[in-house]
Homo-oligomer: A and B are copies of this chain.
Amino acid sequence: MAPQLDSYFKQVDGLSDNFIDRLRKAVAIPSISADDERRPDVVKMGKFLASELRALGAHVEERPLGKQPHKEHLELPPVIVARYGNDKNKRTILVYGHYDVQPANKEDGWATEPFELSIDDKGRMFGRGSTDDKGPVLGWINCIEAHLKAGVDFPVNLLMCFEGMEEYGSEGLDDFITAEAKGFFKDADAVCISDNYWLGTEKPCLTYGLRGCNYYSIAISGPGQDLHSGVFGGSAQEPMTDIVRVMGSLVDTDGNIQIPGLKDLVAPVTEEEKSLYGDISYTMDNLYESLGSKTSIFEDKERTLMARWRFPSLSLHGIEGAFSAAGAKTVIPAKVVGKFSIRTVPNMQIDEVNELVYKHVKAEFAKLKSKNTLDVSLQHAGMWWVASPKHWNFSAAGKAVEKVWGVKPDLTREGGSIPVTLTFEQATGKNVLLLPMGSSTDAAHSINEKLDKRNYIEGIKLQGAYLHYVAEEPLS
């Protein structure tokens, strides 16, 4: 039986000014986790969420994470965990979001004050954190309020986990989640994370996969200190000469990774999978617009999306220790560290990839017959994640999208990683769904970040509808 959502939806529309006001208050708190001096504002933002939730009758705990690693004078902001409802006959859904934001300064080029919510005549609500991730986090709170005011029974028990350090590496969160999987989160039947974006601007999506990332350093050193190229050029072997050659051996202009054996680790594309890409609402013009150029590798959407979602890629990020400023400096750098990363996909295992990378880099360096010294190492690694989109968690979300937006959602994967996703899956053993609220044009992490009023209000409806459909899904 389809859930009755009309009075809930009507209530959301009726409260929309209140909900926008709640977002305005949240955006006004500059909770920048990367800025030590803003730490009190991050804490203030956490307390704001806690007090809003308590006012609606939720049980809330502000859980400390201790001192910040490498910055022992700073206390990490608390994780705000909350429970709304405790009915053994209902399913329990754990939702995650973050209340910290990226840095923002008007001088970076913002058209409006970044910490004042500014709504234009197209309904675009500009402000740092509007879409990443305050809008989606407040969505769950708004959802509770609308149910209360509409007098509609809340369909599930809701567990909430809102952190304040996501934009700074989620310091301390992994251990917390792992510990609470058997504690505060132990009743969770499934997880829903609202911290990503639609593929385009018109069609909602559900996200069931993310690529992993192995990040490497190649250090090449020779002389005891930087040298003057006039004095030593021609008589010393130069680490820069070696490193560009080694880095040049990793990938070609068309993105083909040159590391022998790496392709063999990638799961083959099935016919069923291939057929999924054609229907996805995405065009090459979408890509060109987000690139700001036509310098794509492929000319068709299918191969572009597959390259982004289900094939590995290798990017060279830069060289540490060399001259990197504007102007001209005639230095021979003594030690240079090349940085690159490989985005990984099923079934690439971190260690297998490491082994192939090390072998290839060492072989390429050996070819140079250089007297310099090479050191190649993994800086960090995060695994890829792929969930089953046939799980009831996804079916429920799919039906909710159809109800709210009138279309079946695209099932998408993402090229980047959201490490907390895998942590939740591994710690709880439950299905994890990524349910985005904002669209591809929201400019999270950039100047003029925004959330469209439509995405916010319909997103609140979607979050509520999702919980209702979840309640009705048969046990699998």
Q: B-contacting residues of A (Cβ < 8 Å)?
A: 211, 213, 215, 222-225, 227-238, 240-242, 244-245, 247-248, 251-255, 287, 290-298, 304, 307-308, 311-334, 339, 341, 343, 368-372, 379-380, 414-417
Contacts and interface: CB of A to CB of B under 8 A. Distances in A.
A327 to B, nearest CB: 8
A328 B234 CA distance: 33
A378 to B, nearest CB: 10
B308 A371 contact: no
Contacts of A233: 255, 308, 313-315, 343, 415
A463 to B, nearest CB: 24
B296 A237 contact: yes
A416 B230 contact: yes
Contact of A311 (B234, B296, B324, B343): B234
A307 B319 CA distance: 27
A294 to B, nearest CB: 7
Contacts of A315: 229, 233, 238, 240, 330, 332
Protomer copies: 2
A187 to B, nearest CB: 32
A328 B236 contact: no
Contacts of A317: 229, 240, 322-323, 328-333
Contact of A227 (B224, B238, B291, B368): B291
A371 B295 contact: yes
B313 A223 contact: no
A295 B229 contact: no
B253 A241 contact: yes
B330 A372 contact: no
A321 B234 CA distance: 27
Given A241-B251, A371-B295, A229 B343 contact: yes
